[in-house]
Amino acid sequence: MMEQYKGADFGELSPHVFAIADVAYREMINEGKNNSILVSGESGAGKTETTKMLMRYLAHLGGRSGVEGRTVEQQVLESNPVLEAFGNAKTVRNNNSSRFGKFVEIQFDKTGRISGAAIRTYLLERSRVCQINTPERNYHCFYFLCAAPPEDTQRYKLADARSFHYLNQSSCIEVEGINDAEEYLATRRAMDIVGINEEEQEAIFRVVAAVLHIGNINFAKGKEVDSSVIQDDNSRFHLNTASELLECDCNNLEKALITREIVTPEEIITRTLDPESALASRDALAKTIYSRLFDWIVEKINVSIGQDPNSKQLIGVLDIYGFESFKINSFEQLCINYTNEKLQQHFNQHVFKMEQEEYTREEINWSYIEFVDNQDVLDLIEKKGGLIALLDEAWYVLPRSTHETFAQKLYTTFKNNKRFVKPKLSRTDFTVVHYAGDVTYQADHFLDKNKDYVVAEHQDLLNASSCPFVASLFPSLPEESSKSSKFSSIGSRFKLQLQSLMETLSSTEPHYIRCVKPNNLLKPAIFENTNVIQQLRCGGVLEAIRISCAGYPTRKTFYEFVNRFGVLGPELLEGSNDDKIACQKILEKMKLENYQIGKTKVFLRAGQMADLDARRAEVLGKAARIIQRLMRTYIARKQFVLVRRSATHLQSFVRGTLVRNLYECMRREAAAVKIQKNVRRHKARESYLLLQAATVTLQTGLRAMSARKEFRFRKETKAAVHIQARWRCHRDYSHYKNMQRAVLTYQCAWRQRLARRELRNLKMAARETGALKEAKDKLEKRVEELTWRLGLEKRLRTDLEEAKTQEIAKLQETLHDLQLQVEEAKTMATKEREAARKAIEEAPPVIKETPVLVEDTEKVNSLTAEVDQLKALLQTERQARETAKKEHAEAERRNEELMKKFEGAEKKIEQLQDTAQSWKRKQLTWSRRTRCFVNRLLQFLLLRKH
């Protein structure tokens, strides 16, 4: 809704409080005038709610960012819940009735932003603190505090609201739609925003609690006449608690409640008070404390929000108590209704009187509209000799006056006043015919309620409080001022306040909002028609509508008009200096009707001004568009040139920077590549070296393995050759031995055969010839010679074999077998020799027995042949022996060669073993290096990871 009404023409949209606020704001901005919005209506008609909406709308229009997170407009808005908590109460007509008047001045700076605010309050209903009737309630703050969190209520020693006299006079404790506990917290939050700190809040609620405790102090008759004492322990408890909360002396509080000091020129007389007067004193103290507290809160809010001393423009919003007419109407109602009379008067003045007076002055064609003027009611109340004056007089001039004498005085004074009526059968009541209706007042407490002074004992008591907050509520007054203020009346003070308010309002452009209460049931959507029409009539709304329809709400001096609307016809202004004629020409050109031209002003009908404004706006709009176009062209070009130049500069700079960056990048890239290259090379080298080391180790291992294999193979081969050699040697030797044995056997057999044949031949020869005996001897010699030779041969052979055996035994144990065989052969040879010797020994007897010579010769021949054969055999044997020797020598030579080879092989093995050892050492070195490298690599990877 706010957005809808923002800047909308008045009357364009349906009536709304925002429309009024918008007009006021626009007028203030456009014409530099102060504006005020007067919200009026009956109690419960919605004035306070309307005021809050107005403030919210103005805050919306003129909102600004504030200091420390709290904006002025927020503070202004949040002042409402605080003021409502302490100044509003449930009444018969309204569950949230404002019991004080409020005028909020919202100040704006040149730009139309809210720059400060001031709240003025009027006449708080003090009597409500001590006296309420069902179904009304006391001020909300009392109930809020009683419903506060337990820690707070315990701190203030509070109990249920029903236990306090000031609250339980009415049976209404809770109000539908108000959650006191939540409201307590909301009030505290609002206090925070408004700028009342925690300490001050604490003190405020302490004072509120003290007021409740004061209300529970009761008095009983004292021993002396017209004296009183604290009634019971309960009362004393509340007395003590109140003094604790107010931080004042308990005895002094008691004394201030039950005694009075009368100052005479001679001495100070202390007078005791009867219980009734003590109660009155108690209530007076409670009322004074509460009203001072309320004033302090208002003052604090004003200080906290702050005022803008430079502000020239303001919008005032007036929310003042509505017209009241109850069953019992007292001094407060008179004041309230007096205020409403004043406001009605202001309305009349502005809407009817001043308007019509101006029409007459300007001599325009106008028939006078009648309206109900309430000036006479105001005269009755405020004029010299009026109600307020008589009230002051009754108290100030005639101290012995009672409410009855005061009523009588009224009756006599105003018996001819048509606004004053004396009700029949009444001695103290009087009726005032207000603009909104007749109200009958009971004059019973008028005199007391009009007295505006603080009992000196109360003032001294609270001024001496050790709590700075309480003491500040009752500052000590200078002697002179204390005397003068002691005798000021509430009525006259209120009159002065209203006068000041009216002056303020007169200096502003007023706007009126009339709140109409649809029903008395406090329910929505029910319209009690008679009631509504009554309110409209009483408020002069009907006349106002009439005058708006018939009258000329807008007027401008000729100069102002020409100045404002000259743009609609600039050609009409040429050649003439008369504003009046120019005005007329402009109006004719605009084809307006029913307007009037006065002596100095032009009078326009409702809506005509808006029409002219719209056309003016159109013309100005066109002109503005042209100017804007040219200006924009100029600015755009200028900006373009500037931008171009800047762009060129920027580009050159950016390009330079880019190139530098690029160069830097390239440099870094090259460096990076170099570093990468080196690192990679280093890594490749490391891995290569590692691989190489591993390969060399592997090769060494493999070579060692193959060398060992080769060595083993050679060793095996050598061993095999050796075995083969041994085996062949053994085989050949065996073969030789076998052959030898066979030869010998054969030889022996053959010789045996030959010998037998010889023997036979010899025997035959011996028998034949003795001559053969010589041959026989020769043969024997020959045999002996052969035998000797054979023996020699054998000996030589034995020696040779022995030497050979020794030699072979020295060389190798394996040749032992051969030696044994040789020895066997030797043994066998010996045996053969023996056998031959035996054969020879056996031969002579055989020869002796052969007598034949021829046979002997033949036998000698055959023997010679046989000897030749044996020689040949011996030769063959020798050759065989030679061959065996050679073979043996050959075998030895081979053996030596083999030994040499073996030694060579051993050397090679040793060499290979050395090589293997060195490889092993190298392998160990490389494995150590590899381990080292792996460790370093791991360390490097860990570092990189970190």
Active site annotation includes 44: yes
Which residue of the set 36, 40, 43, 895 is catalytic?
43
Specify whether 798 is catalytic. Answer: no
Among 98, 107, 337, 428, binds ligand ATP (CB under 6 A): 98
Verify binding: residue 515, ligand ATP, rule CB under 6 A.
yes
| Residue 322 among the catalytic residues | yes
Residue 4 C-beta: closest distance to ligand ATP, Å = 16
Enumerate residues 298-357 that contact ligand ATP by CB under 6 A.
Answer: 321-322
Eight-state DSSP code of residue 259: E
- State the Cα–Cα distance between residues 650 and 648, nearest whole angstrom: 5
β-strands 437-442, 429-434 pairing = antiparallel
Part in contact with ligand ATP (CB under 6 A); list of ranges 41-49, 710-718, 742-750, 920-928: 41-49
Candidates 98, 218, 311, 895; catalytic one: 98
In the bound state with ligand ATP, the residue whose beta carbon lies nearer, of 43 and 535, is: 43
- Residue 49 makes contact with ligand ATP by CB under 6 A: yes
> Of 247, 324, 457, 832, which residue is the catalytic one?
324
- Residue number with CB closer to ligand ATP (94 or 218): 94
CA distance 177 to 713: 118
To the nearest whole angstrom, how small is the minimum distance from the Cβ of residue 39 to ligand ATP? Answer: 8
- For residues 751-773, one letter each, b for 16 or more C-beta atoms within 10 angstroms of the residue's C-beta and e for the rest, the string is beebbeebbebbbbbbbbbeebb
Q: Supply the minimum distance, in Å, between the C-beta of residue 103 and ligand ATP.
A: 14
The reply to whether 48 belongs to the active site is yes
Question: Which residue number places its CB atom closest to ligand ATP?
Answer: 46
- Nearer to ligand ATP by Cβ, of 48 and 281: the residue is 48
- Catalytic-labelled residue, pool 97, 325, 465, 761: 97
Cβ(858)–Cβ(770) under 8 Å? Answer: no
Peptide bond into 135 cis (omega under 30): yes
Torsion of CA 152, 157, 161, 166, to 10 degrees: -120
Catalytic option among 94, 138, 291, 348: 94
111 carries an active-site annotation: no
Q: Is 43 in the site for ligand ATP (CB under 6 A)?
A: yes
672, with CB counted inside 10 A (0-12, 13-18, 19+), is exposed
**Binding residues for ligand ATP restricted to 352-391, rule: CB under 6 A:** none
466 is catalytic: no
Rounded CA-CA distance 297/318 in Å is 19
Tokens of 159: 């109990």
Q: What is the DSSP letter of 396?
A: I
Minimum CB distance to ligand ATP, residue 609 (Å)? 29
CB of 310 to ligand ATP, least distance (A): 33
CB of 550 to ligand ATP, least distance (A): 30
- What is the closest distance, in whole angstroms, from the C-beta atom of residue 564 to ligand ATP in the complex? 36
* Binds ligand ATP by CB under 6 A, chosen from 25, 27, 36, 44: 44
Our finding on whether 428 is near ligand ATP (CB under 6 A) is no
| Binding-residue total with ligand ATP (CB under 6 A) | 16
Residues 57-96 close enough to bind ligand ATP by CB under 6 A: 94-96
Using the minimum distance from each CB to ligand ATP, give the nearer residue, 94 or 329: 94
d(CA 464, CA 771) in angstroms, rounded, equals 202
Decide: is 528 part of the binding site for ligand ATP (CB under 6 A): no
| Contact between 130 and 168 (Cβ < 8 Å) | no
| Among 28, 47, 294, 565, contact with ligand ATP (rule: CB under 6 A) | 47
Q: Which residues are annotated as a binding site?
A: 41-48
How far apart, in whole angstroms, are the C-alpha atoms of residue 914 and residue 918? 6
| 3-state class percentages of the chain: helix first, strand second, coil last, to nearest 5 | 70, 10, 20
Question: Between 656 and 685, how does the x/- string for binding to ligand ATP read (CB under 6 A)?
Answer: ------------------------------
Closest-CA residue to 418 (of 381, 380, 455):
380
Residue 24 neighbours by CB under 8 Å, 6+ apart: 35, 36, 37, 315, 509, 511
Nearest to 82 by CA among 321, 300, 366: 300
Q: Half-sphere exposure of residue 166, counting CA atoms within 13 Å on the CB side?
A: 30
* From 40, 44, 235, 341, the catalytic residue: 44
Shortest Cβ 454–ligand ATP spacing (Å)? 27
**Is residue 328 packed enough to be buried (19+ CB in 10 Å), middle (13-18) or exposed (0-12)?**
exposed
CA distance 288 to 214: 12
- The annotated binding site for ATP is made up of 41-48
Stretch that binds ligand ATP, among 38-46, 184-192, 270-278, 624-632 (CB under 6 A): 38-46
Active site residue 94: yes
Residues forming a β-bridge with 117 = 106
Instruction: Work out the end-to-end distance of the chain between its first and last CA atoms, rounded to an integer number of angstroms.
Output: 64
Task: Assign residue 195 a region (left: φ > 0; alpha: ψ between -120 and 50; beta: otherwise).
Answer: left
Say whether 367 is catalytic: no
Instruction: Cite the active site residues.
Output: 43-44, 48, 94, 97-98, 322, 324
Site residues (CB under 6 A) for ligand ATP? 41, 43-49, 94-98, 321-322, 515
